[in-house]
Amino acid sequence: MIITVTMNPAIDKTVEIDSLIQGGLNRISKVEYDAGGKGINVSKTIRELGGKSIATGFLGGNNGRTIASVLEEKGIESDFVRVDGETRTNTKVYEKNGALTELNEPGPVITEEQMEALKDKLLGYAGADTLFVLSGSIPAGVPKDTYARIIRAVHEKGSKVLLDADGELFRLGVEAAPDIIKPNRVELEEYAEMDYRASEEELVHIAEKFKDKGIGSIAVSMGQSGAMFLLDGQTARCPALSVKAHSTVGAGDAMVAGLALAWDQKLAAEETIRLCMAVSAGAVTTIGTKPPSKELVEELKKQVVIAYLK
């Protein structure tokens, strides 16, 4: 069973324009709305690939009701804690030259009681057959060590955890030894306090240190440079697939969905890598945060090139 946790969900509004004019009039050629937030994006992708998950977190106001309705229409089970205030709307401005500008709202303030209600809900799902996906930002009122606390609590019940976060959420979270992590290049550089672009050898070195913390599986997404995977005692490097890119929004979430589904289906390392690379590449061909089709992912799997480093 996969449980995705989205503490700061959103209505994703993706608008397309020719070129962004700061301080001037911008005419929108196309607009798309969808239920979003990193964990929700993971659940949408898992559903598109034929898997199942339960989406949880916090929802509030009309936007929250809209998200719940969209998930129901998509056949995704949800179990959110209802809160006061309005779930945020995130606006993504996509230009024809591929440039992306994101305007993310803060979301509602979460009380201690609401946080405890979510923790109780998660512990109710915890067990040896459960993977929790903790991803994305947290709203105001939620302490930075929340992911770390959740990891330790569900580990006590035998559950596994996949962490996809940045900044302090990531730094504190990895100290609780999640089972799977998916940092990107920038997040690793920030974690290692680098003020320059790390080489791939340096990224591997940083990633290997997580093994000492008890983290078993690591995927490092590197955008146009592809990705690296540390799975089952092996380190693999994969170049990015050649696809017609529409938007990079959601590519990282798609890779997280691949990792989660691979865990749920008990896939071997090579199949896990092929799935992750294919679904991530497929995601950049879609509009906004819409997941790629299962048919496209199956086709892209055939194009994945895996080079084992050790």
Per-residue pLDDT of the chain (310 residues; tens, 9 = 90+): 999 999 999 998 989 999 999 899 999 998 988 898 999 999 999 999 999 999 999 999 999 999 999 999 999 999 999 999 999 999 989 888 878 898 988 889 999 999 999 999 999 999 999 999 999 999 988 999 999 999 999 999 999 999 999 999 999 999 999 999 999 999 999 998 888 888 888 888 899 989 888 999 999 999 888 999 999 889 999 999 988 766 667 789 999 999 999 999 999 999 999 999 999 999 988 876 789 999 999 999 999 999 988 6
Tokens of 161: 């955890």
- The verdict on pTM exceeding 0.85 is yes
Instruction: Give residue 303's pLDDT.
Output: 93
Q: Cite the active site residues.
A: 253
97 within 8 A of 16, measured Cβ to Cβ: no
Instruction: Give residue 288's pLDDT.
Output: 67
HSE (side-chain half, CA atoms, 13 Å) at 92 = 23
Instruction: Give residue 14's pLDDT.
Output: 87
Please enumerate in sequence order all residues whose Cβ is within 8 A of that of 61, keeping only pairs 6 or more positions apart, or say none: 85, 86, 87, 108
Instruction: Give residue 265's pLDDT.
Output: 96
Chain segment 143-195, per-residue pLDDT in tens:
999 999 999 999 999 999 999 999 999 999 999 999 999 999 999 999 988 88
214 within 8 A of 161, measured Cβ to Cβ: no
Instruction: Give residue 247's pLDDT.
Output: 65
Q: Looking at the chain, how many residues does it have?
A: 310
Instruction: Give residue 32's pLDDT.
Output: 85
Q: Provide the pairing of β-strand 234-238 with 307-308.
A: antiparallel
